[in-house]
A = this chain, B = another copy of it.
Amino acid sequence: MAISVNHQVQPEKWLIAPHVIRLETSIIREILKISSQPGVISFAGGLPAPELFPLEDLKRICGEVIEKYGPAGFQYALSRGVPVFVKLLAERATVSGCPTEPENVLVTAGAQQAIELVARAFIDPGDYVIVENPTYVGALQAFNYYQARYVPIEMDKEGMRVEQVETSIRKYNPKLIYTVSNFQNPTGITMSEERRQALVDVAVKYNIPLVDDNPYREIRFAGTPATQLKAIGGDAVIELHTFSKTVAPGLRIGWINGPKPILSQFEKVKQCTDLHTNSFSQYVIYEFVKQGLMDPQIEKIKANYLEKRNTMLHSLEKYFPAGVTWTNPEGGLFLWLELPKGISAKEMLPRAIERGVAYVYGSPFFAGGGGENTMRLGFSNPSVSDIVEGVKRLGTLLKEKV
């Protein structure tokens, strides 16, 4: 039978759902593409330091997983996650101060899928979500898909200004409260103890799910550990975790710790989304944790990032003009800068890339608009010498602007 290829196909006229058409490409991912040009020092990403990936351990463990678990590491698995891994996650959470049972846990393809599951489960078109202003742009992207509206709450150096939350709840009847309580992306700010208690109280009072997106907690290289929202709030809190910042983002392993009836709903959605998370990677991280490699790995990361943060702070002092201010995070991956009013970080970006340095401008992080004079600098990925050189290049450019 002759094959006829018909040239009248017009896929560009296929009817894509409007909320997909409206979806914008992630600005960070676009900047990452541009900034991966050779010669560009990039502060744009939240990429872990490549020199910290525990390659030798992972190599050994991959072999061990195959020897020890055989076909199980490659077969279809439960939507909740590989049972021994789920159990281990629950035990570790319990030890860290948040009593957790396996039924509270769902393993996800990174924290982004955890955010996406939360968004799907709770947001109907037009629903309000309380967010910090600014907040993580990947969360806004996931929420936008479900046509969320936002109640952006101002931040100061203690985090979200929780005293504004109750009024907002009364006015907008939001579906959920979303916070990045530790070393926030993008600002690096950590919520104070008083605010944590107050935020849990108001979430409980109005019975609104409090989502704590918590990828950076373990990477604290200065100051005193904060009490976790989940430890204070228990079932009032849905906590989102990831191994992307501690072991390896490429393995796409995150998890949710939340109330059992809610996790059952998430599990159904997970099932029809992608059946289950990569089982081999779950076994690899399970063994990594079980063999006691996590704590030394985190110590390595903290030492590395502390040096890089310090280098960035010193370089900013040295090369940046007066009138620019920045945060001093006690952990995590990001510094947040405010330029003098009137300077647009977005407009400046192409010039910066010409000079061989990239960053993410701050405006997309603001659900409520504004922030044109802000930018996020990630210090985790570049080398110490590149941090000095990149800040110098950016400072030189800024001095021409100020």
A interface residues with partner B (beta carbon < 8 Å):
1, 3-6, 8-18, 20-21, 23-26, 29, 32-33, 45, 47-48, 50-51, 53, 55, 58-59, 62-63, 66-67, 70-79, 108-110, 112-113, 116, 120-124, 138, 141-142, 144-145, 175, 193-194, 197, 200-201, 204, 207-209, 227, 231-236, 244, 247-252, 258-259, 261-262, 265, 267-269, 271-281
The contact sample of 7 A-B pairs, CB cut-off 8 A, is A6-B234, A14-B262, A20-B269, A23-B268, A112-B274, A138-B272, A252-B279
Contact indicator A272/B204 (Cβ below 8 Å): no
Q: In whole angstroms, how far apart are the Cα atoms of A59 and B69 in the complex?
A: 12
Q: In whole angstroms, how far apart are the Cα atoms of A75 and B46 in the complex?
A: 11
Contacts of A265 in B (CB 8 A): 16, 20-21
Closest to A55 in B: B66
Contacts of A4 in B (CB 8 A): 197, 232
With A9-B236, A75-B249, A145-B272 known, 17 other A-B pairs at CB within 8 A are A5-B232, A6-B234, A9-B235, A20-B265, A20-B268, A20-B269, A25-B271, A48-B75, A50-B75, A53-B75, A59-B62, A62-B62, A109-B252, A113-B273, A116-B274, A142-B272, A252-B278
Q: In whole angstroms, how far apart are the Cα atoms of A124 and B15 in the complex?
A: 10
Whether A25 touches B74, Cβ cut-off 8 Å, given contacts A232-B4, A278-B278, is: no
Whether A274 touches B16, Cβ cut-off 8 Å, given contacts A1-B197, A29-B79, A251-B280, is: no
Minimum distance in angstroms from A172 CB to a CB of chain B:
14
Contacts of A108 in B (CB 8 A): 274
Contacts of A23 in B (CB 8 A): 268-269, 272
Contact indicator A204/B6 (Cβ below 8 Å): yes
Closest to A258 in B: B11
Which one of B29, B70, B248 contacts A271 once the chains associate, using CB atoms below 8 Å? B29
Q: In whole angstroms, how far apart are the Cα atoms of A10 and B275 in the complex?
A: 28
Minimum distance in angstroms from A173 CB to a CB of chain B:
10
Q: In whole angstroms, how far apart are the Cα atoms of A144 and B247 in the complex?
A: 36
Q: In whole angstroms, how far apart are the Cα atoms of A109 and B77 in the complex?
A: 14
Contact indicator B113/A274 (Cβ below 8 Å): yes
Whether A207 touches B14, Cβ cut-off 8 Å, given contacts A66-B58, A110-B274, A278-B281, is: yes
Minimum distance in angstroms from A17 CB to a CB of chain B:
5
Q: In whole angstroms, how far apart are the Cα atoms of A240 and B17 in the complex?
A: 20
